[in-house]
Amino acid sequence: MSSYAMFKDLGEKSKNKESEGMDGVKAGTRGTGTRATGTRSSGVKPKNTMEKYDEPNKSGSTSGNQKYTVSVKDIDHKIQLIQTHKIVVIDVWAEWCQPCHMIADKYEEMAKKYNRRGVCLLAKENIDDKIQMPEKVVIRGVPTFLFFEDGVHVDSITGADLSEVEEKLQEMLHK
């Protein structure tokens, strides 16, 4: 079964179904502040987080809080990103990972340079969020960069070598 088919299958299974995280907490109850309980409605679409990811501010530079990378929120969001862009690179990182923090600004600069709606997307996913992966994708350490082309996982790079990541990305873009 291809990675695309696995992602599609995961997306189908998660539709119209209440989801629980690895710790058994229902989706919608984490980080809700004053809301004590809640579930994700199957009829609610995820917020479009891609609106400004490829648009710099008017001065042509990023402001202190402008982000060009997109944070993967859940499996449905990941599937949406992978299916709506020809090439997707996902930086799987962790809050506790020092090398992840050391390369974060450079990865953000790469996102500014390469992100183009429908063509190329550089995203980030916190490994501690425990978002599902296709069966054949194995994360052995962080940071790990996952490369997807036309909805299929094609390569992974583990380690903080962004020159290798950029080289692979350019190779994919110039096929």
Task: Single out the catalytic residue among 100, 142, 146, 162.
Answer: 100
Task: Single out the catalytic residue among 81, 87, 89, 97.
Answer: 97
Q: What is the DSSP string of 6-19?
A: HHHHHHHHHTTS--
Q: Tell me how far CA of residue 4 lies from CA of 11, 75, 80, 100, 124, in angstroms.
A: 10, 13, 11, 27, 19
- H/E segment holding residue 5: helix 3-14
For residue 174, give the 3-state DSSP assignment.
coil
- Examine the residue annotation and report whether 120 is marked as an active-site residue of this protein: no
Q: How big is the CA angle at 77 (ends 60 and 3), to the nearest 5 degrees?
A: 110
Helix axes 75-83, 3-14, angle to 10 degrees: 140
For residue 111, give the 3-state DSSP assignment.
helix
- The answer to whether residues 68 and 112 touch, using CB atoms and an 8 Å cutoff, is yes
| Catalytic annotation, residues | 97, 100
